[in-house]
Amino acid sequence: MTETVPDLTTTTTTTSTIPGAKAFIFDMDGVLYRGATALPGVEALFNALSLRGIPFLLATNNSMATPASYVLRMAAMGVEVDESQIQTSATVTRDYLLTKIPPDARLLIVGMPPLGEQIFAGTNFQPVGDDPDEHIDAVVVGLDLDFTYARLRRASDAIRDGALYVATNADATLPHESGMQPGAGSIVAAISAAGGKTPVVVGKPETLMMMKGIEQLGVLPREAVMVGDRLDTDILSGHRAGLQTALVLTGVSQREHLAVADVLPDYVFADLPALTQAIVGHG
Catalytic hit among 29, 137, 144, 171: 29
Q: What single letter denotes the amino acid at residue 113?
A: P
Cα–Cα distance, 107 to 229 (Å, whole number): 33
Q: Is 27 a catalytic residue?
A: yes
3-state secondary structure of 53: coil
Cα–Cα distance, 155 to 7 (Å, whole number): 47
Q: Is 171 a catalytic residue?
A: no
Return the DSSP state at 232: I
| Rounded (5°) CA angle 241-247-253 | 110
Q: Computed from CA positions of residues 73, 253, 145, 110, in that sequence, does the dihedral angle turn out positive or negative?
A: positive
CB 247 within 8 A of CB 267: yes
Crossing angle of helices 208-217 and 89-98, rounded to 10°: 80
Helices (H) and strands (E) in the chain, counts: 9, 16
Q: Which residue from 124, 123, 119 is spatially nearest to 141, judged by alpha carbons?
A: 119
Catalytic hit among 27, 171, 229, 234: 27
Cα–Cα distance, 78 to 42 (Å, whole number): 8
Cα–Cα distance, 172 to 150 (Å, whole number): 21
- Residues catalogued as catalytic: 27, 29
